[in-house]
Structure 1
Amino acid sequence: MSRSDVRNGLVVILILCGLMASAALARTALLDRASTAGAMLVAAEGWLASLSADQAVRAQRPFDDPHRTAWHFIPKFDRKGLQLREMTPAQAALALSLLQTAVSQTGFGKACGIMELDEVLRIQEGMKAKNIRDSQRYFFTIFGKPSDRDPWGLSVEGHHLSLNFTLRDGRLVDSTPQFLGANPAVVRSGLPGLPALPLAGQRILRDEETVAFELVQSLAAAQRIKAVIAAEAPKDIRAAGTTQPPPEAPVGIRYGELSSQQQQVLRRLIDVYCGAMVPEVAAERLNLAEEAPGGWDAVAFAWAGATEPGIGHSYRVEGPTFSIEFCNVQPDAEGNPANHIHCVWRDRTGDFDLSAMGSPATPPAKR
C-alpha cells in the first residue's frame, strides 16, 4: 500500500474523529437529558438502520453468541463485526458516534489515537505490516437487539483496542473488559510526508504510565519491599483474551500502608482508567470499590521490573471489585526498548455482566 493510500485512509479517520470530538458539547447536552444507555440505544439503532443486509449480517449477532465474550487486542485478519473500512463515511460516522455515547471525551480521544497509531506502525514496519496495520480495521458489533428492556451488547475492537459494553433493563451494566494499548507508546520520530500522523513526542497513554511512575518512585525503601513483587516485568498482562480476569488475590502494598499523599496519587491513577468511561460509569466504579469489604484499604498496588522509563516495567492495582494491569516491555517497531503499552481494566466480580463463575449477574448491576 502506497503512502497516498495510507494518507487517504488516515484522513478518513482523522476527519471522522474530529467531527465527533467537535460535537462533544452536543453529546454532553444529550446525556443531560437521557441516560448513557438511552443515548447508546438511539445511536445503535441509527447505525444498524444505515447498513445494507450484507453489512448487517456481520454487524449484528445474537446476544448469547459466544463471540460476545471472545475478545483480544492482538492484530488479527479475522475478527467479529463490521470494520470501518467496510462502511461508507456516513456509516462510519454513525459507528463512531455510537462509540462516543459509550465513553468519555477522553476515552474517545484515546480510542481514535490508538487507531491513528496503526498508521504509524504501517509506515515503520513497511512490508512487514502485511496490510494488517490499518486505522480503519476496527470492528463494531452489536449483540442482541438494542432495547430499553432486553439485554444487548456492543463491542468495538481492533489492534490495541477492545471496548465491551453490556446493557439490560435500560441501563449500562458492564463496561469490561476495557483494553487500551499503544505502539509506539511514545512516538519517537516524525514521519516525513505524513504530517497528519501523530507528531514526535505524542503519548496516547501518557497518564497510565507517568502517574504510576510517580507513585512507585515516591515509595520509601520499606514500602518498596512490599510493592515490588518481581525484579523483572512479565512479558504481558495476565489472562489476555480470557472471559474473566485472573482469580488470584491482590498482591503488593495496601492502600492503608501508603502516606496520604501517595494515596492521592494512587487514586489519581485509578481515575485515569475510570476516566475513559462516561462520568456515571466512572463514579459507580469508584463507589463499588469504596463499598466493597475493606473499602480502599483492600486495594493493593504491585510493581514489577524497572522503576524508570525505557526498561521493561509492569504494575497492577487491584481490589475486590476491579483489576488494573499495565505492561510496557516490548520494543516499538524502530527498536526502542519498552515503548509498547498494554493496559486493561477488568471487573473482578465478573466481566461482560457475568459473575466470575460465568453465570448471569444479579442486581445490583456492575460496571
Structure 2
Amino acid sequence: MKFKSIFLMVGCSLFMAISSSQELNALAAEFLNTLDPDLKSITIFDLDDKERLNLHFVPIKRKGPTFHDFNDEQKEAAMALLRESLSSEGFRKTKEIMALEDVLLEIEGGKFKMPDGSPGRDALNYHFCVFNDPATQQFWGWRFEGHHISFNFVASSGKIVASTPSFLGSNPAIVREGAQKGKEVLKMETQLGFAMVNSLSKDQLDKALFSEKAPREIFTTNKQVVTNLDPPGISYAELDKNQKEALEKLLMVYLDNYESGFSQSLMDKINTAGMNELSFAWAGSLVPGKGHYYRIQNPVILIEYDNTQNNANHVHTAVRDLTNDFGRDLLKEHYKESHKH
C-alpha cells in the first residue's frame, strides 16, 4: 500500500467530525480500544520506561506498531490522535515528510535495506508508542516516530503539556524530479533563515557567523539531555526593528507546528525568559546550494537547522525545550507533590 492511501482513508470528513474541544485522552483511548491484546501489548509502556527517552530520527528498528500492523479502523484512530496533537501545519509537514519515503525509494531504486532485509524507505514504517494508560493515569505520553520524524508528547487532563524533543527532516529538501518535483516541505525554515542572515550588516554578521563551514549534523542529535550551545551568536537586542520581526517570524515557523495551546505556552516561556536573551547563530554558506546551519536559542529553548548532506539538499531540524524536554520538569514536580501527600 502506498503512503497516500492512508490519508485518502482518513480524509477531511474524519477530521471535521472530531470536535476541537474533544479531549486528547478520549482520542488516545479510542485508538487503544481499536487494538487487539497482541497489538496493545507492544504499544503501551510505563511512563517511566526508558523507551520513552529513546529518541531517533534515522531508519532503525524501533519499538511500537506501525501502519503495517493496523487495519483501516486502527489507522484512522491513530491518525486522528496525531492530527489532534499537532497544528494543521505540523500535520501537513508530517504527512509530506512521510511521502518523501516514496521519493527516496524511487531515487535509490530500493537499494537501501534495513538490517533484516526489509525496505529502508517505507512510508508506512512509522511507529506509535503510548506511555501510561490515558484512561486511568493523570499523566501519560505518546510518541510518533520514524525516518525524519520524532514527536514526543506528554499530556495531562486531556491537554498537551510537553511536545519536545521534536524533529522534522526532509530528504530531498527540494525534490528535483518525478511526480513530486518541486516539493519543498521545510521551505519556510530555509527561506526565512537565509532572509534573516542576509539582513545582517557586516558587523552583525561577524557576531552571528561562528564558522565558515556548516556542521554535518545538528549538535543535539538524539541526546536525551541538551543545553545551550556556544557561541550563541547575535542577540535579539542587537537587531534593528525589521530584523527583530524577521527573527520572530522564523521562530514562529517552528512553534506553529505544535497544537495551539502548547505553542502558546512555549512562547510564553520564551517571553518570560526575555526576548533580549534570544540569539541567532549561523555557520556555512550565505546562499542556497552549499552547506548551511543556524540555531535560535535562549535559556528555555534551542532550535537547530542543518542542511549539508546530499549536496546541501537534506534538511534536519530540531526543537528542544531546555526546561521541560520529555515533560521532565512537570513530572518531577508532580512526583514531588505526590510524595508530600
Query: Which of the five TM-score ranges fits, normalised by the shorter chain?
Result: over 0.9
Aligned-pair Cα RMSD in Å: 1.7
Q: Which residue of 2 aligns with 1:114?
A: 97
Greater mean alpha carbon deviation, residues 123-132 or residues 229-238? 123-132
Partner of 1:354 in structure 2?
A: 328
The residue correspondences of 1:249-288 to structure 2 (distance < 5 A) are 251-288=232-269
Give the secondary structure class of the aligned counterpart of 2:313: coil
Shift of 1:349: 1.0
Q: How far apart are the structure 2 equivalents of 1:224 and 1:313?
A: 14
**Aligned mates of 1:114, 1:258 — CA distance in 2:** 33
- Say yes or no: does 1:177 pair with 2:151: no
**What CA deviation, in whole Å up to 9, does each residue of 1:289-346 have, x standing for no partner?**
0011xx1000000000001111000000001111100000000xxxxx1000000111
Comparing 109-118 with 165-174, greater Cα deviation is found at 165-174
Whether 1:235 aligns to 2:235 is no
Aligned pairs for 1:21-170 (under 5 A) are: 21=12, 23-27=14-18, 30-31=19-20, 33-34=21-22, 38=23, 40-76=24-60, 78-130=61-113, 131-147=119-135, 150-170=138-158
1:237, 1:343 within 8 Å by CA — same for their partners in 2? yes
Contact 1:43 1:98 in 2 (8 A): yes
Return the TM-score normalized by structure 1. Answer: 0.86
* Greater alpha carbon shift after TM alignment, 126-135 vs 305-314: 126-135
SS of 1:157's equivalent in the other structure is: strand
Q: Deviations over 1:72-94 (max 9, x none)?
A: 10011x10211111111221111
Name the amino acid aligned to 1:75. P
Tell me how far apart the structure 2 counterparts of residues 93 and 57 of structure 1 sit (CA, whole Å).
Answer: 20
Q: Which runs of 5+ in 2 are unaligned?
A: 114-118, 335-341
Report deviation, 1:149: 5.2
Whole-angstrom CA distance in 2 between matches of 1:148 and 1:281: 23
The aligned residue for residue 294 of structure 2 is: 315
Deviation for aligned residue 1:148: 7.3
Distance 1:23 1:221 in 2: 52
Letter in 2 for 1:348: L
Contact 1:250 1:318 in 2 (8 A): no
Query: Which consecutive segments of 4 or more residues in structure 1 shift more than 3 A?
Result: 21-27, 246-250
**In structure 1, which of residues 9, 12, 29 is the aligned counterpart of residue 2 of structure 2?**
9
State the shift of 1:362 in Å: 2.8
TM-score relative to the length of structure 2: 0.92
* SS of residue paired to 2:168: strand
Q: Is the 8 A contact 2:57 2:148 kept in 1?
A: yes
Q: Answer whether contact 2:173 2:184 (CA < 8 A) is retained.
A: yes
Question: Which 5+ residue runs of structure 1 have no aligned equivalent?
Answer: 1-7, 192-198, 332-336
Aligned match of 1:4: none
The letter for the 2-side match of 1:110 is K
SS of 2:133's partner is: coil
